[in-house]
Structure 1
Amino acid sequence: MQFEEGELEQEWFRKRTYKHFDRPVNSIFVENTIDPSFVSTHSFAPLIQFNKVTKKYKLCAVERKRKVVKKSRAIMYASHKDACILSYYSSLLGNLLNNYYYENDLDENVIAYRSLGRSNYDFSAKAYNFAMLESPVSVLAFDVSGFFDNLDHKLLKSKLKRILNMDELPKDWYAIYKFVTKFHYVKKDELKLIPAFLKSLDTPGVEPIATVAELKREKINFYPNPTHGRGIPQGTPISATLSNLYLMAFDKEIKDFCVSIGAFYQRYSDDILVICSPEREGEVSKKIKYLMDREKLSLNEEKTEIRTFDKNKREFTPSDLSQYLGFSFGYNDVFIRQSSMARQWRKMRKSIQRTKRYAEINIQSGKSNKVYTKKLRRKFSPLQYRNFSSYARRGAHAFNSRSILKQTRRLERAFEMELQKIKSDLEKP
C-alpha cells in the first residue's frame, strides 16, 4: 500500500492539528502504522488530560425553579503518532465488531460509535414507532455508572482475544491493550503553570508543546491510571470502540432475551433502552442488572427511568414523557427535549450579543458600516447547513411531528427578529 506525499486519504486516518508532544504525522509514519512489528515496539507518549465541563438545567421539584448542575468529565487525548496508531487499530476492531453485529443480528441494536449512515432521530423514531405499535408499553432507560472508568481489564483482554479469535494477544495488539490500561497522563492545567509551555500552548501552529525530557526537567507530574485493574481513558481514537467490544456479549444476550419476550432493545454507549409490555417490566430490570453484574459494571439508579407509554391516554404531564437520544416521547407526538431546546436558545442569544458587540466596535471605529451576519445565519437559519435547525427539521420529518416543527420555527423566528433589530439599530443609511 503506497501513499503519495500529502495524500493521506485512508478511511481510518484523520489529520489532527492540535498541540501535543509531537508534530502531526507524515505519510511514512502512516505506512509504518499498518506494520505490526513497528507498532509492537512503538513507545507511547503520555496523554494530555483536561476536564470538560457541561451545564445542565434541572427543575427543582421543591422550589419549582430551574437550577444549574455542572458535570465534569476527564478527557484525555493522545499524541499525533499515538492517535494515528490507535485510529488504525480502532478501524480494525470496528470492522471485526461490525461482522459480529451482522452475524448476531445486532446491527440495529448497537448504534453508538459506528458509521451507519443514520442520525439519532432515525433510531429514536424506530423506538417511538415500536412503542406506538405495541402500546401500552413500559419504556425502561438505564445508564451505566462511570462506564469508561470501570471497564475491567481482565474482561477487556479476554474479549479482545475472543474477537481476534486468538488464545493470546499478538505483540502489536498487546501494545495497544497495555497502553489503554496502563496509561499515564499529564494535566493540561499543570502544563500552563510553566511559562514556556503556556507560551507554546497559546502560540498558533503545530510545534510540540515540549519533549518528554523537558517535562521531566520541569518536574511535571506523570499520573498513572487512577484505578488499578479497571478503566480506560476517555477521548482516545480507540476508546469508544473498546467500550462497544466490552459489551458485545451483553448486547447479544439482552437482545436475544428481548426478542424472546417481544421487547425492543437499543444501546447508545452507556445508555440502554428497552421497551416491553408492562407485565415484563420487573423481569427486564432484573435481567439487565444481572448481566451488568456479570460484566462488573453497575447501573446509575438516579438516572434509571421507567415510564408507561399509552397512546390512548388523553392527558399527560412532563413527568410522563420518555426521554431518548435528545427527544421526548408524548402519547400523540414527539418533542425535542426541553433541555436541548433551552441550550439552543442560550447559544442563539449569546451569539446574537457577540455579533452585536463586534459590529458596534467596527462601526464606531469606521472599519465597517454594516452588520455581518453570514456566519451567524449558518448557525441558526433553516438553510441547508449542518446546524441545529436543519437537524431538528429532519427530525420533525422522521417523526412526522408538528410539535418539533413548532419548536424549531419559534427559535428561527426569534433569531430573525433579534437579527433584524441589531441591523436596524446599528446600520445607518
Structure 2
Amino acid sequence: MPRSCTYPSFLFMTTEKKEKDWFRLKRYPHVGLPLEPSDRVWIEKYVTNKTKISKHAFSPFIHRKTETRKFRKEICHDGTRSNLRKPSNKERELFYANHIDTNIYGYYSQLISTEYEKKLLSEGISDCVTAYRRLKLNPDQENSRNKCNIDFANEIFSYIKSSTESELIAITFDIKGFFDNLNHKKLKKYWRYVMDANPDLPEDHYNVYRNITKFSYVEENQLFNTCKTKILVERHPNMIKSVPVKRKIHLRNKRAVAYCDKDEIENIRNSGLIKANKYFYDFANKKVLGLRDKGIPQGSPISATLANLYLIDFDKFANEYLTNFGGIYRRYSDDMVAICKAEHEKDVIDFFTKKIKEYCLEIQTSKTQVFKFIYSEKDKRYFCFEKNENTKKLQTNTNFEYLGFQFDGRYTLLKNSSVAGYYRKMKKSFARGHFHTFHNNTNTKGELFKSRLYKRFTHVGSERRRVYTRDKNHKDRFVLSHKYDWGNYLTYATLSANIISDNKILGQLKRHWNKFHKLVKAVVP
C-alpha cells in the first residue's frame, strides 16, 4: 500500500502470523492449475496417506537453465592472479515440480529434516551444517529470528578475531557439481540411516526416492512453444481463460498460471517432449550407456534436505578432524571452510581432498583458497594474506571471502562483486526504463516511472514490512497479509552492518544516492 495513502484504522485488520510448514502455494506456470489455500484439506489428507504416496505417479519436472554473469581474476603463467577480471557465465540447471508433487516433496522434506536434526544433535555437529536449516538466533526466545548467511559469516570472522594464535589458516573448499554427483546408492544409505529404516526404506519413502533419482522432465522452451496458443491465464480471481502468448517473457505480465491443463499430459508425452533422466546417453552415437547412478534435480523442495543428509558422515569426520587440531569446520551447502593453525594446512587440504572421494564427490581445486592471518602486536589485530598455491608466496591486498563478505583480519565488507552487481543492475534498469518510455503507445509515453526505481535501488524502498491486501469478504477493508515486502539490496546491507561487528559496509554504499540521481539526470529529458 502506498505510504501516501491514508485510511481510517478500522479498515485495516491483522491476521495471526502462521509458522511456515510444508504446504506451498506457488504461482509459477506448470502442467495443471496452481493450488489454492482451500485445497490444503484434501492435499494434507493425500500427502499424509502412505499408501497413496507409495503408488503416486509423479509428473515430469520443467527444466530451465539460468545464467549468472561472473567476473573472475585470471591466473597468470607464474601462478599469480591478474588484476584484470575475465567475464564468464555460470549456468545452473533448475527443475520445477508440478504443484501437487511440490507439496509431496515439501512434506517428506519436513519429515526427513525433523529426524536429520536429531541426528545432528546426537552426533554433536549441529553447528557445522548451516545451509537449508531453520536455526534460531536465540533458541530460548520464541520470537527469535532465524540465522542467515550474515550470522554464519560473522561467526567465522569473530572466531578468527578472538583467536590467541599468532598465525591462523582459513581454507575454503568447493564441491564440484554437488547436486549432479550425489551417488544414488549412498543417498539411499544415508536416507535410511537418518530415518532409522531397516532393512530398507518404507514404500512411500522409496517411491519419493525413486522419483527424485530417476525423474523425467520437459524443457521449458519446448513446452511453451507447444502450448503458446492456449496458455491458461488468470484474468480475475477464480476466472481462468485460455489465451495465446507470443513470447515466454510475457507470461508474467499476462498472469499465466499454467501452460495447459493436467489432462493434457498424455498429449505432451505423445509429442515426445518428455525426457527421461534414468539413463546415461551418448547423444553423438545415439546409444544408451547405462542406468544413471548419480545426481538429483536442483530446485525441488526436497533436494536441499537430501544434499545435507548425504554428507552427514563426512561432516562428522571433518568436524572431529578439525577439532583435534583445535580448529573449526563449517559447511554451507557445497561451500566448506576450515580454520586451523598454520602448521596443519597441508594435512587439512589432504584430508578434505581424499575424504570427499569416499562419497563419490570431488573438490574443485581451482576454487580452493588458502588465507593466512598473521597477528600484529603493534596494531593489535590480524592481517590477511592469500597464499598462492603455485608460487607459495603470500599476496597482499587480498581479503578472505566467505558467504558474500570479505574480511581483512579486522574489518568486514560486502564482496566487491556484490556491490558492483547492485550498481550494474541499477544502470541496466535505467536503460531499460528509458527504452520503454519511448517505445510504448500509452498516455505515459516519454515518462520514466521513477518511483519504481527509487523503491528498488534507494533507501526509499529499503524498509522491510508486511504487505496489506484487500479483504476478499469486505472490499472496503485491508488485511495485513503473510506476504512481505523484503526491501532491496540496501536492506540487506543495513542488516549486515547491524549484525557484524567492526564493519565498513555502509561506507561502500554511501554514494548510491548520488549515482542514482546521476542516472536520473542522464535519462530524464
Q: Tell whether the structures are fold-level matches, with TM greater than 0.5.
A: yes
Q: Does 1:17 align with 2:24?
A: no
* Aligned residues of 1:55 and 1:69 also touching (Cα < 8 A): yes
* Aligned residues of 2:217 and 2:276 also touching (Cα < 8 A): yes
Q: Does 1:204 align with 2:204?
A: no
Q: How many Å apart are 1:31 and its aligned residue?
A: 2.3
* Whole-Å separation in 1 of the counterparts to 2:346 and 2:300: 37
Secondary structure of 2:256's match?
Answer: coil
Q: Say which of 46, 55, 67 aligns to 1:53.
A: 67
Secondary structure of 1:192's match?
Answer: helix
Please provide the CA RMSD for this pair. 2.6
Q: Structure 1 residues 401 and 410 mapped into 2: Cα distance closer, same or farther (>3 Å)?
A: farther
Corresponding residue number in structure 1 for 2:364: 300
Per-residue CA deviation, residues 156-187 of structure 1 (Å, 9 max, x unaligned), is 11111111112111110001100011111121
* Aligned residues of 2:22 and 2:107 also touching (Cα < 8 A): yes
- How is 1:143-154 mapped onto 2 (pairs within 5 angstroms)? 143-154=174-185
Q: How many Å apart are 1:37 and its aligned residue?
A: 1.1
Structure 1 length-normalised TM:
0.89
Query: Which amino acid is 2:27 matched to?
Result: T
Corresponding residue number in structure 1 for 2:308: 244
* Whole-Å separation in 2 of the counterparts to 1:232 and 1:290: 23
Q: Say which of 370, 373, 376 aligns to 2:453.
A: 376
- How is 1:14-413 mapped onto 2 (pairs within 5 angstroms)? 14-25=24-35, 26-27=39-40, 28-60=42-74, 64-116=83-135, 117-134=146-163, 135=165, 136-167=167-198, 168-194=200-226, 196=228, 199=231, 202=251, 204-209=255-260, 211-225=264-278, 227=280, 228-312=292-376, 320-359=398-437, 366-367=443-444, 371-382=448-459, 383-385=462-464, 386-413=487-514
* Whole-Å separation in 2 of the counterparts to 1:377 and 1:318: 38
* Aligned residues of 1:191 and 1:198 also touching (Cα < 8 A): no
Deviates more, 1:164-173 or 1:405-414: 405-414
* Whole-Å separation in 2 of the counterparts to 1:360 and 1:164: 60
* Whole-Å separation in 2 of the counterparts to 1:269 and 1:31: 32
Q: How many residues of Structure 1 are paired with residues of Structure 2 in the alignment? A: 416
Q: Structure 1 residues 98 and 374 mapped into 2: Cα distance closer, same or farther (>3 Å)?
A: farther
Secondary structure of 2:186's match?
Answer: helix
* Aligned residues of 2:227 and 2:259 also touching (Cα < 8 A): no
Q: Structure 1 residues 45 and 280 mapped into 2: Cα distance closer, same or farther (>3 Å)?
A: same
Q: How many Å apart are 1:152 and its aligned residue?
A: 0.7
Q: Structure 1 residues 182 and 366 mapped into 2: Cα distance closer, same or farther (>3 Å)?
A: closer
Q: How many Å apart are 1:189 and its aligned residue?
A: 2.3
Secondary structure of 1:409's match?
Answer: coil
Q: How many Å apart are 1:315 and its aligned residue?
A: 8.5
* Aligned residues of 2:438 and 2:445 also touching (Cα < 8 A): no
Secondary structure of 2:89's match?
Answer: strand
% identical aligned pairs: 29
* Aligned residues of 1:356 and 1:422 also touching (Cα < 8 A): no
* Whole-Å separation in 2 of the counterparts to 1:422 and 1:212: 51
* Aligned residues of 2:372 and 2:384 also touching (Cα < 8 A): no
* Whole-Å separation in 1 of the counterparts to 2:62 and 2:276: 10
* Whole-Å separation in 2 of the counterparts to 1:88 and 1:314: 47
* Whole-Å separation in 2 of the counterparts to 1:73 and 1:290: 27
Q: Structure 1 residues 369 and 197 mapped into 2: Cα distance closer, same or farther (>3 Å)?
A: closer
* Whole-Å separation in 1 of the counterparts to 2:108 and 2:399: 40
Query: Which amino acid is 1:405 matched to?
Result: L
Greater share of residues in strand: 2
Greater share of residues in helix: 1
* Whole-Å separation in 2 of the counterparts to 1:277 and 1:193: 58
* Whole-Å separation in 1 of the counterparts to 2:383 and 2:107: 53
Query: Which amino acid is 1:218 matched to?
Result: S
Query: Which blocks of at least 5 consecutive residues in structure 2 are unaligned?
Result: 1-17, 77-81, 136-145, 233-247, 281-291, 377-381, 386-394, 465-486
* Whole-Å separation in 2 of the counterparts to 1:121 and 1:188: 34
* Whole-Å separation in 2 of the counterparts to 1:196 and 1:347: 30
Q: How many Å apart are 1:412 and its aligned residue?
A: 3.9
Q: Structure 1 residues 206 and 322 mapped into 2: Cα distance closer, same or farther (>3 Å)?
A: same
Secondary structure of 1:54's match?
Answer: strand
